[in-house]
Amino acid sequence: MDIFGHNFPCYHFENRAREDSGIVLNDLTFKNFYIFTRYKEFTDPVVKAYMRYFATKNADTHETQTINDQVSFYKDDTLIRSKYMTYEFDLHESKEEGRAEAKLEMVDAMFAKTKLTDEEISAISGIPLDEIQKRRSQHQK
C-alpha cells in the first residue's frame, strides 16, 4: 500500500531541518519505504527480484531462495521460536518492572518533598491506596 499516495515504488527520506529544508543533518540515517507490489518498476534486476519476493513470496532466484530458506528455517525451528518468544517476554517484563520501580521512586519523592495526602499520591501515581499507606509506613521507619 502506498501510504504517501504519489505512486512511487520507493520513497527515500533523510533528516532535514524544518526551518530550512536545505539544512541536512548528514548523519547518514535514512528512512526508506518500499511498495513491494510495484516491483516491476525497479530497474536493478537484483532489487527487482527481492521486491518481487516480498510482494509474492515467490523465490525464483538464488538470492530470494536463500532468503526463503532462512525464513523457513527460523519458522520451523521450535527452539529458536521458543527462545525468541522468551526473549520478547523477558523484555516486556523488564520494562514493566522498570515502570513499577519508577512509580515507587516517584512516590518516595512525593513523601519527602510534598505534603500530599496518601489519597492524592494514589490518584497521581495510579498505585492503590493501601499500597501507598504500606509504603509510607515503611518509609517512616
Alpha carbon distance 140, 137 (integer Å): 5
Task: State yes or no: pLDDT of 67 exceeds 90.
Answer: no
> Do both 26 and 72 map to the same domain?
yes
**Averaged pLDDT score across all residues of the chain:** 87
For the chain, give the percent of residues with pLDDT over 90: 17
> Do both 111 and 68 map to the same domain?
no
pLDDT for the residue 6: 93
> Do both 66 and 17 map to the same domain?
yes
Task: State yes or no: pLDDT of 141 exceeds 70.
Answer: no
Give the three-state DSSP class for 117.
Answer: coil
Number of folded domains that form the chain = 2
Task: State yes or no: pLDDT of 58 exceeds 90.
Answer: no
> Do both 63 and 88 map to the same domain?
no
> Do both 62 and 91 map to the same domain?
no
Positions of E strands within the chain: 10-14, 30-34
Evaluate whether residue 4 is within a structural domain. no
pTM for the predicted model, two decimal places: 0.44
Alpha carbon distance 129, 131 (integer Å): 5
pLDDT for the residue 19: 92
Domain that holds residue 52: 10-76
